[in-house]
């Protein structure tokens, strides 16, 4: 994950304009489902989002995230 979201908390990520809901974060070792707001996004994380397809696509593009369906 080479994104400006690295180091932000889940609450900060979800506060971005038109941000989808963060439903999971995988750090290569542990999977957090519905991570709490204070959880910080680590480098190399894989994130799962819930939202409308265009919303998720645009959010990923704007934050330099690779989108996999």
Domain ranges of the chain: 10-62
Q: Looking at residue 19, what is its pLDDT?
A: 98
Q: Looking at residue 2, what is its pLDDT?
A: 75
**Can you tell me whether residue 9 is helix, strand or coil?**
strand
The side-by-side arrangement of strands in the sheet containing 46-50 is 31-33, 21-26, 46-50
Tokens matching residue 54: 């265009």
**What tens digit of pLDDT does each residue of 21-66 get?**
999 999 999 999 999 999 999 999 999 999 999 999 999 999 999 9
């Amino acid at each position: 994950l080479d994104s400006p979201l690295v180091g932000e908390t889940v609450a900060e990520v979800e506060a971005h304009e038109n941000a989808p809901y963060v439903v999971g974060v995988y750090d290569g070792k542990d999977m957090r489902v519905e991570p709490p707001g204070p959880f910080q996004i680590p480098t190399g994380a894989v994130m799962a989002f819930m939202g409308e397809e265009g919303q998720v696509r645009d959010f990923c593009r704007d934050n330099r995230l690779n989108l996999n369906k």
